[in-house]
Amino acid sequence: MNAGELLSLCKRRGFIWPSFEIYGGVAGMYDYGPLGSVLKENIIRLWRQAYRYGEGFTEIDSVTINPEAVFKASGHLDEFSDCIVYCNECGEPFRADHLVARLHPNPDTLDAKSLKELIREHDVTCPECGGTLGDVEEFNLMFRTFIGPGSSRIGYLRPETAQGIFVNFPNLYRYNREKLPLGVIQQGRGYRNEISPRQGMIRLREFNMMEVELFVDPENKTWPRYPFVKEEMLRLIPNDGVERVMSLDGAVREGVIANEVLAYFIWLTKDLLVKMGVDPARLHFRQHLSEEMAHYATDCWDAEVLISYGWTEIVGIADRGSWDLTQHAKWSHEDMTHFKRYDEPHEVEQKVIKAKHSKLGPRFKEDAKEITNLIESCQAEDIKDGALQIEHNGKPLTISDEFFEVETLIRKVSGEKVIPHVIEPSYGLDRIFYTILEHAYHKRDDDYTVLKLKPILAPIKVGVFPLMARDGLDEKAQEIFRLLMDAGIEAYYDDSGSIGKRYARMDEIGTPWCVTIDYETLEEGRGKKDTVTIRDRDSTKQIRVPIDKLVKTIHTMLNGVNFESI
Amino acid sequence: MNAGELLSLCKRRGFIWPSFEIYGGVAGMYDYGPLGSVLKENIIRLWRQAYRYGEGFTEIDSVTINPEAVFKASGHLDEFSDCIVYCNECGEPFRADHLVARLHPNPDTLDAKSLKELIREHDVTCPECGGTLGDVEEFNLMFRTFIGPGSSRIGYLRPETAQGIFVNFPNLYRYNREKLPLGVIQQGRGYRNEISPRQGMIRLREFNMMEVELFVDPENKTWPRYPFVKEEMLRLIPNDGVERVMSLDGAVREGVIANEVLAYFIWLTKDLLVKMGVDPARLHFRQHLSEEMAHYATDCWDAEVLISYGWTEIVGIADRGSWDLTQHAKWSHEDMTHFKRYDEPHEVEQKVIKAKHSKLGPRFKEDAKEITNLIESCQAEDIKDGALQIEHNGKPLTISDEFFEVETLIRKVSGEKVIPHVIEPSYGLDRIFYTILEHAYHKRDDDYTVLKLKPILAPIKVGVFPLMARDGLDEKAQEIFRLLMDAGIEAYYDDSGSIGKRYARMDEIGTPWCVTIDYETLEEGRGKKDTVTIRDRDSTKQIRVPIDKLVKTIHTMLNGVNFESI
């Protein structure tokens, strides 16, 4: 299978459509069609379940247009850019690092100057027309707009949902009753004004993210459930490049993964992706090299999957340290700290300087009071060679230790302010969506396509078919369709074409079960009245169940019970 | 209660927060906090249930940045604007119609010229500094940006989600197997670059919409379920301004509502809003006056609610006719029609013009063939006074009927192409959210605040309290918290402060039930072991239930069974 084949199925059957096709399309933009939007919604639901119900995180939903101040603080205004180069002949813009992809192991780590040199050195020309290439420049990837009338208030479409969580930290911290850990999730749009996107759903200008920001005590980077999963195995590629299969605890003890909380959320990510249908044999976690790490991260692991574009990042799990909150505290002058209360108040020794009034008075006369204040505002650390340097009436003045003494006080301190660290598992929803489809894509022996989607994710759970569209079979089938829909089970009624064709249509979009209403459903006396067949997508086997047990049977299978054991 | 009181509760308890507060905020932008995001999600779920499961509509999710072509076609580039006026002294921008609100009954229907005159005539000055006002100009309300590098490709943030559905009509129509009616829903962000928003959540620059576009046969504007609800009563204010309570069918028969399908979705909207907790006594439907109707609508009704800002539109239900598809067909040159197949092929008379070769040859010689073609490309309607006017070699030429005859042919036609009409119920999610909170807001006799949210919408369903945070009560309470969360019931564990205080905290955020774990829960021998109390928010009554029936009891109540009958 190649990406084109899958994208064509997706388009034909209503999973995704290139946006604005009637106007010639816009590169890097896709719309989710009727099946795709439900599959996407189901992915979000599983992710929410894991974090909100499973781990007790809270969710927020912040706006997508952000004022410039946010991105000054976050670093995006300076750092969120790609190097661009235009063809001198045809004017086409390119990502400079893409043009030298074969000439350097990590071209995206190079700056504009190095890229330009590499292009000159190797006589790289325009891949479209063969023309010479111009200068390499930085191009900021945020979409810019103006908030309100005039052009005084610049706004940007957010490149990540994370900033909406960071700027709300004071609100979130109060909501959490000033306790850590504090876990917050957000899903929604992110924007990246790609120079020249060309990789289907992998490189989008408008994309969907599911982000998690976990604020933790920097000195307590573990997680309550860590002990229960620490022996689970992960396929890791640490930054030495050598793939290893290690347990979480082994990786943490050997210093491969920085800490337990990071390891826990790498594991949770693996668990979640596999539950969604990502093939574990085509999934590993790769640690960032120091030069490819974002400006804010202290350790970062990518969940990478093997798809037809090669190994591709679909989730990033980073320890961002205190970067984000420190930056926003600095630029907003707001308090972004956690008050870490000690179990017992600590006794803290404090050295304070006391002026000797009896010596100062006779020596400095009317200036004595002012000099007393100046002396006592000094710290013990300021004493050099037994003397203090102060400034009095604009002139430097040396005060020897005959004029002061150092006292040691004991103070009780109930806690300290710390800037929380941030652990961020950030999920690329569109890439996950695409991977799930690729890994679900199968050709059966008869060459029919079947999407082996996990039932819980399938956009349509049940196809409902009358054997024939007559003799009351169709009315009965409509009734059963209604019964399922009213129970919240997404169903699809189809009475056109042979049953085989209808099965094939459902297989192709990943519908796990098909219910057929036949003459036995209506027939008195043979003990099969009011029963229907359920046909299983993956085994193509059939069973017969009473209509009044149908909803329960579907629910049971949706909860993970295998068709064979029904 | 006033809006300020409610907004302050919302902020304090984590429903909504003004966006970017740490940077001084941005007018017209709010973030949904932990409670608000779940309430919002629950509103969306009810709406989805009604349309997707209830009416069989499909859902899509299209991108928010749209290229200029879309809004040329939709009319937003020309029409989506407000009149702006700046103060000559302080430079503050204002919406001109807001400044003359008391001087005209419908100031938003006035153009820039009339607004300017009204301002001059009444010497209206700047409400901020009293300065004189400048010229009145049109200000387009779309946020503008550039797609890709350079400034050649203009994009706008969508002012409505509807256009994403219209431009996908060919895809959606194929997905629906080329049948009508075709119902499509979409929810997501909309953007409107307000000049100077000042009304809390009512006037936002970035908002949330839930839109429904129903494509129907222009000659068949009814709905299968209409007969079942046609006797239901609606509170209507037709465009004569006189409020009337009428049945759906009465309103349609008297021509008050344009057609049955429009009436049905007005009723569905009412039903949905009331299910969400909108007070029916503070809800009516008002018909647009012809001068306030949008450029595309042929009939439009607003669901208006009474809140502290006065009667406020929260839903618009419009018959947009064929406007949208006609416009996009015109600008994109794509086919946006429905092929309406007749039950039986129709025989259609067609008049065609046949040239008389025997006459044309002798008269026109070598030009005869060309003139034959010109004649036969004319329609029967082109014949004036028995003659055709054609143009030959750049010169007009009159051809009398001695050179042609009109033949009548009978053709079999299996159907015809029609441009579907669009019925659009468009829901303002943020306004609905706000209304639900206002209508749920109550002061109890003891002056405590209680949000009487519908249980199905409440962000937290159950508060879980150990009577004391000791003696194993807290462990048991944590267990019950886990039990509920694993069953997908959003719960909140609280062990701090008196039980009364904890009840009050839950009442204030609308939590319908609180479960308390007390010593009897743990105590052997008195028959109350493993039971807990459930306390009802609205009646403040309590019952005792076994822990193993707790999840079922909560589910039963969530499905609408009253606490009193449990």
pLDDT band (50, 70, 90) for residue A507:
very high
Q: Across the interface, do B65 and A485 touch by the CB < 8 Å criterion?
A: no
Chain length of chain A: 566
Please give, rounded to a whole number of angstroms, the shortest distance from the CA of B274 to a CA of chain A.
20
Range 522-551 of A in CB contact (< 8 A) with B: none
As a whole number of angstroms, the distance between CA A382 and CA A406 comes to 12
Stretch A282-308: mean pLDDT, rounded?
A: 88
Question: Could you tell me which residues are beta bridge partners of residue A61?
Answer: B32
Write out pLDDT tens, residues B500-532: 999 999 999 999 999 999 999 998 888 888 999
Q: Across the interface, do A145 and B144 touch by the CB < 8 Å criterion?
A: yes
* 8 A C-beta contact, residue A277 and residue A440: yes
Residue bearing the bigger pLDDT, B296 or A531: A531
Please give, rounded to a whole number of angstroms, the shortest distance from the CA of B115 to a CA of chain A.
18
Q: How far is CA A438 from CA A202, A221, A322, A349, in A?
A: 12, 36, 37, 63
> Which residues touch B262 (CB under 8 Å, ≥6 apart)?
B221, B299, B301, B317, B319, B423
Range 360-399 of B in CB contact (< 8 A) with A: none
Q: Across the interface, do A488 and B19 touch by the CB < 8 Å criterion?
A: no
Residue B64's CB is within 10 A of a number of other CB atoms, namely 22
**Top-tier CATH class for B3-77+142-323+424-428:** alpha beta
Of A505, A528, A506, nearest in space to A517 by CA = A528
ipTM, interface predicted TM-score of the complex:
0.90
Share of chain A above pLDDT 90, in %: 87
Q: What is the pLDDT of residue B35?
A: 98
Q: Flag whether pLDDT at B1 surpasses 80.
A: no
Write out pLDDT tens, residues B152-182: 899 999 999 999 999 999 999 999 999 999 9
Q: Flag whether pLDDT at B293 surpasses 90.
A: no
B145 touches chain A (CB under 8 A): yes
- Chain B positions touching A334 (Cβ under 8 A) are 22
Residue B463's CB is within 10 A of a number of other CB atoms, namely 24
Stretch B380-403: mean pLDDT, rounded?
A: 90
B83 touches chain A (CB under 8 A): no
Q: How far is CA A244 from CA A251, A271, A318, B225, in A?
A: 10, 18, 20, 61
Stretch A310-325: mean pLDDT, rounded?
A: 96
Q: What is the pLDDT of residue B445?
A: 87
Q: What is the pLDDT of residue B126?
A: 94
Stretch A225-242: mean pLDDT, rounded?
A: 96
Write out pLDDT tens, residues B140-156: 999 999 999 988 899 99
Please give, rounded to a whole number of angstroms, the shortest distance from the CA of A393 to a CA of chain B.
40
Q: What is the pLDDT of residue B515?
A: 98
As a whole number of angstroms, the distance between CA A319 and CA A302 comes to 12
Range 424-463 of A in CB contact (< 8 A) with B: none
3-state secondary structure B331-342: HHCCCCCEEEEE
As a whole number of angstroms, the distance between CA B386 and CA A310 comes to 73
Q: What is the pLDDT of residue B108?
A: 86
Write out pLDDT tens, residues A383-394: 998 899 998 888
Q: Which two tokens stand for residue A234?
A: 């992960």
**A302: exposed, middle or buried (Cβ count in 10 Å: 0-12, 13-18, 19+):** buried
Sign of CA dihedral A133, A136, A140, A145: negative
Q: Across the interface, do A65 and B205 touch by the CB < 8 Å criterion?
A: yes
Stretch B405-421: mean pLDDT, rounded?
A: 93
Write out pLDDT tens, residues B325-347: 999 999 999 999 999 999 999 99
Bridge-based pairing state of the strands A93-95 and A16-18 = unpaired
A36 touches chain B (CB under 8 A): yes
CA dihedral B486, B492, B496, B499 (to 10 degrees): -100
Question: Could you tell me which residues are beta bridge partners of residue A514?
Answer: A463, A535
Write out pLDDT tens, residues B93-129: 999 999 999 999 889 889 999 999 999 999 999 999 9
As a whole number of angstroms, the distance between CA B14 and CA A172 comes to 8
Pick the CATH number of B81-140 from 3.20.20.60, 3.30.40.230, 3.40.50.2000, 3.40.605.10: 3.30.40.230
- Closest Cα in chain A to B94: A149
The partner residue sitting opposite B149, judged by closest CB among A53, A84, A171, is A84
Sign of CA dihedral B62, B66, B69, B75: positive
Write out pLDDT tens, residues A53-92: 999 999 999 999 999 999 999 999 999 999 999 999 999 9
Please give, rounded to a whole number of angstroms, the shortest distance from the CA of A165 to a CA of chain B.
10
CATH superfamily of B460-565: Anticodon-binding domain (3.40.50.800)
Of A172, A214, A215, nearest in space to A60 by CA = A172
pTM equals 0.90
pLDDT band (50, 70, 90) for residue A292:
confident
Write out pLDDT tens, residues B257-276: 999 999 999 999 999 999 99
Stretch B416-444: mean pLDDT, rounded?
A: 97
Of B278, B298, B280, B279, nearest in space to B288 by CA = B298
DSSP result, A151-166 = SSSEEEE-S-SHHHHH
B38 touches chain A (CB under 8 A): yes
Q: Across the interface, do B196 and A148 touch by the CB < 8 Å criterion?
A: yes
A152 touches chain B (CB under 8 A): no
Please give, rounded to a whole number of angstroms, the shortest distance from the CA of A14 to a CA of chain B.
6
As a whole number of angstroms, the distance between CA B179 and CA B173 comes to 7
Q: What is the pLDDT of residue B502?
A: 97
- Chain B positions touching A63 (Cβ under 8 A) are 19, 29-31, 206
Each residue of A191-223: b (16+ CB within 10 Å) or e? Answer: bbbbbbbeebbbbbbbbbbbbbbbbbeeeebbb
The partner residue sitting opposite A63, judged by closest CB among B19, B172, B332, is B19
DSSP result, B237-280 = E-TTS--EEEEHHHHHHTTSSS-HHHHHHHHHHHHHHHHTT--G
Of A96, A95, A204, nearest in space to A157 by CA = A204
The partner residue sitting opposite A143, judged by closest CB among B19, B40, B65, is B65
Residue A57's CB is within 10 A of a number of other CB atoms, namely 19
Please give, rounded to a whole number of angstroms, the shortest distance from the CA of B375 to a CA of chain A.
36
Q: What is the pLDDT of residue A151?
A: 83
Q: Tell the CATH topology of B341-415.
A: 3.30.720
- Cα–Cα–Cα angle for A253, A259, A261, rounded to 5 degrees: 125
A326 touches chain B (CB under 8 A): no
State the DSSP H helix or E strand holding residue A359, giving kind and residue range, or none if neither.
Answer: helix A357-364
Q: Which two tokens stand for residue A97?
A: 């690092």
pLDDT band (50, 70, 90) for residue B224:
very high
Q: What is the pLDDT of residue B292?
A: 73
Q: What's the whole-number average pLDDT of chain A? A: 94
A71 touches chain B (CB under 8 A): no
Residue A308's CB is within 10 A of a number of other CB atoms, namely 16
Q: Looking at residue B295, what DSSP letter applies?
A: T
Of A362, A429, A406, nearest in space to A39 by CA = A429
The partner residue sitting opposite A62, judged by closest CB among B19, B60, B168, is B19
Of A128, A98, A79, A195, nearest in space to B147 by CA = A195
Write out pLDDT tens, residues A150-166: 888 999 999 999 999 99
pLDDT band (50, 70, 90) for residue B298:
confident
- Closest Cα in chain B to A186: B37
Question: Please, what is the end-to-end C-alpha distance for chain B in angstroms?
Answer: 33
Q: How far is CA B523 from CA B77, B514, B531, in A?
A: 72, 21, 10
- Cα–Cα–Cα angle for A331, A332, A337, rounded to 5 degrees: 100
**CA B359 to chain CA mean position, Å:** 65
Range 270-289 of B in CB contact (< 8 A) with A: none
φ, ψ dihedrals at A31, nearest 5°:
-105, 145
Q: Which amino acid is at A167?
A: V
**A340: exposed, middle or buried (Cβ count in 10 Å: 0-12, 13-18, 19+):** middle
Q: Flag whether pLDDT at A293 surpasses 80.
A: no
Stretch A198-207: mean pLDDT, rounded?
A: 93
pLDDT band (50, 70, 90) for residue A544:
very high
Of A276, A238, A229, nearest in space to A256 by CA = A238
A148 touches chain B (CB under 8 A): yes
A31 touches chain B (CB under 8 A): yes
Q: Across the interface, do A175 and B63 touch by the CB < 8 Å criterion?
A: no
Q: Which stretches of A241-385 are assigned E, i.e. beta strand?
A: 244-247, 283-287, 299-307, 310-321, 338-355
Q: What is the pLDDT of residue A297?
A: 73
Q: Across the interface, do B175 and A148 touch by the CB < 8 Å criterion?
A: no
Stretch A114-135: mean pLDDT, rounded?
A: 93
pLDDT band (50, 70, 90) for residue A381:
confident
> Which residues touch A163 (CB under 8 Å, ≥6 apart)?
A66, A70, A71, A74, A324
Each residue of A367-398: b (16+ CB within 10 Å) or e? Answer: ebeebbebbeebeeeebeeeebebeeeeeeee
pLDDT band (50, 70, 90) for residue A441:
very high
Rg from Cα positions in chain B: 32
Q: What is the pLDDT of residue A259?
A: 96
**CA A288 to chain CA mean position, Å:** 16
Question: Could you tell me which residues are beta bridge partners of residue A416?
Answer: A340
- Chain A positions touching B164 (Cβ under 8 A) are 31
Domain ranges of chain A: 3-77+142-323+424-428, 81-140, 341-415, 460-565
Of B253, B254, B222, B250, nearest in space to B240 by CA = B254
Stretch A546-550: mean pLDDT, rounded?
A: 96
DSSP result, A315-335 = EEEEEEETHHHHHHHHHH---
Of A522-531, B56-65, B404-413, the one with minimum mean pLDDT is A522-531
Q: Looking at residue B378, what DSSP letter applies?
A: S
As a whole number of angstroms, the distance between CA B399 and CA B353 comes to 12
- Please indicate whether the domains covering A81-140 and A341-415 agree at the CATH topology level: no
Q: Which two tokens stand for residue A189?
A: 């749009």
Range 172-201 of B in CB contact (< 8 A) with A: 172, 175, 177, 184, 189, 191, 193-196
pLDDT band (50, 70, 90) for residue A421:
very high
Percentages helix, strand, coil for chain A (3-state, rounded to 5) are: 35, 30, 35
pLDDT band (50, 70, 90) for residue A229:
very high
